[in-house]
């Protein structure tokens, strides 16, 4: 179900779009709120405009209630057509396949230099997403909300794939409350409509801080864990760089029934970073000894090889062959059938 807000939507009426799968808004002409500016002025003495309180920017950047906003109604309707083009007719229909124009892309050499050698330097994960997609076409969902995670649809060999990816350009790719909610809802949507999932991982951990803890990062992070754990669609994961601790776990790891998990040679899979781990394990040692221990930890654990030896990674691949490997992975998983044990309904940590 898709909602298009093309004018005012207030009071109890806002709950109709709130229950649909995607919400589109038109900038400068649409707004949504439960209580309007006049009520606010009377009750809380706040003076705000309708646009500031419930306009497209408020709901696509701050609240995350809306998924898309565009300049006018015509563009909104055009983009709804584009979204529908990616989606199956229903949850019981066959997978959506678009006529595939074979662009004969084999190895993509530019991906070899995507991840910087300096571990503290950022890069744009959208470059990877576009390069592995048919015709470089990526339809991003909730582009302006929780930018530290990227979600949206691509096609691989004509088949629709849902993508969830950490974005190193924002908060170094850390997971926080908003990004966990955003990704969890998208994962559940894809699972509802049998859309396979591709997860691209570069996550140093959950965002630390009292604000996050007091606002329930534990239960919000658990939503993403729950969503991946219950998903029965094909799940392919690629670790490009950092994959640390609990954040590694929740990003469609092997422990959450990931079907095929790849890693680039630049991947670092560990409980935490080398420096943090060395300072805890070798507390109280002099600086030179600490540096040596950090180097030893990096060599032994900050690589994908230990995880691969334990079976948590299926294959370590060179970046240039990523698209080829993903094509074969999703092809193998096309007939996947998996059912969860019967229950009245699940109890996701809301």
What does 38-56 look like in DSSP terms, one character per residue?
Answer: HHHHHHT-----HHHHHBH
The catalytic position among 247, 263, 307, 308 is: 247
Query: 3-state class of 323 per DSSP?
Result: helix
Q: Which residue stretches of the chain are H helix?
A: 15-18, 37-43, 50-54, 56-57, 73-86, 125-132, 177-192, 210-214, 217-230, 245-250, 274-281, 287-301, 305-309, 322-332
C-alpha count within 13 angstroms, C-beta hemisphere, residue 102: 4
Q: Helix 217-230 crosses helix 177-192 at what angle (to 10 degrees)?
A: 20
Residues in contact with 296: Cβ distance below 8 Å, sequence separation at least 6, in sequence order: none
246 given a catalytic annotation: yes
245 given a catalytic annotation: no
The catalytic position among 12, 106, 311, 335 is: 12
Q: How far apart are the first and last CA of the chain?
A: 21
Q: What is the CA radius of gyration of the chain?
A: 22
164 CA to centre of own chain: 3
Query: 3-state class of 188 per DSSP?
Result: helix
| Tokens at 77, concatenated | 């309707």
247 given a catalytic annotation: yes
The answer to whether the beta carbons of residues 282 and 289 sit under 8 Å apart is yes
The catalytic position among 7, 11, 209, 216 is: 11
183 given a catalytic annotation: no
In angstroms, the CA 192 to CA 341 distance is 16
Determine whether 171 is exposed, middle or buried from the number of CB atoms within 10 Å of its CB (0-12, 13-18, 19+). middle
Cα distances (angstroms) measured from residue 278 to each of 106, 151, 288, 294:
41, 34, 12, 6
Catalytic positions: 11-12, 246-247
């Amino acid at each position: 179900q898709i909602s298009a807000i093309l004018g005012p939507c207030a009071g109890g009426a806002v709950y109709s779009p709130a229950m649909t799968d995607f919400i589109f808004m038109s900038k400068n002409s649409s707004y949504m709120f439960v209580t309007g500016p006049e009520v606010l002025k009377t009750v809380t003495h706040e003076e705000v405009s309708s646009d500031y309180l419930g306009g497209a920017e408020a709901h696509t950047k701050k609240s995350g209630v809306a998924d898309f906003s565009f300049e006018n109604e015509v563009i909104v309707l055009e983009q709804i057509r584009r979204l529908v083009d990616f989606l199956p007719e229903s949850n019981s229909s066959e997978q959506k396949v678009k006529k595939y124009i074979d662009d004969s892309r084999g190895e993509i050499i530019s991906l070899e230099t995507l991840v910087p050698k300096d571990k503290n330097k950022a890069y744009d994960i959208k470059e990877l997403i576009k390069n592995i997609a048919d015709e470089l076409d990526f339809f991003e969902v909730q582009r302006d909300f929780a930018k530290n995670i990227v979600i949206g649809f691509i096609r691989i060999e004509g088949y629709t794939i849902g993508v969830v990816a950490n974005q190193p350009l924002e908060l170094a790719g850390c997971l926080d409350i908003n990004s966990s909610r955003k990704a969890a809802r998208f994962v559940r949507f894809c699972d509802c409509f049998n859309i396979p999932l591709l997860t691209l991982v570069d996550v140093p951990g959950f965002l630390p801080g009292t604000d996050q803890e007091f606002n329930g990062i534990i239960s919000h992070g658990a939503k993403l864990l729950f969503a991946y754990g219950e998903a029965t669609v094909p799940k392919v994961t690629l670790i490009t760089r950092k994959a640390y601790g609990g954040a590694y776990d929740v990003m469609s790891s092997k422990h959450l029934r990931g079907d095929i998990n790849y890693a680039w040679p630049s991947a670092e899979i560990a409980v935490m970073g080398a420096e943090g781990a060395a300072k805890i394990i070798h507390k109280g040692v002099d600086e030179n000894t600490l540096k040596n221990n950090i180097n030893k930890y990096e060599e032994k654990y900050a690589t994908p090889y230990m995880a691969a030896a334990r079976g948590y990674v299926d294959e370590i691949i060179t970046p240039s062959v990523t698209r080829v490997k993903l094509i074969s992975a999703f092809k193998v998983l096309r007939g996947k059938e998996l059912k969860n044990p019967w229950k009245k309904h699940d109890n996701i940590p809301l």
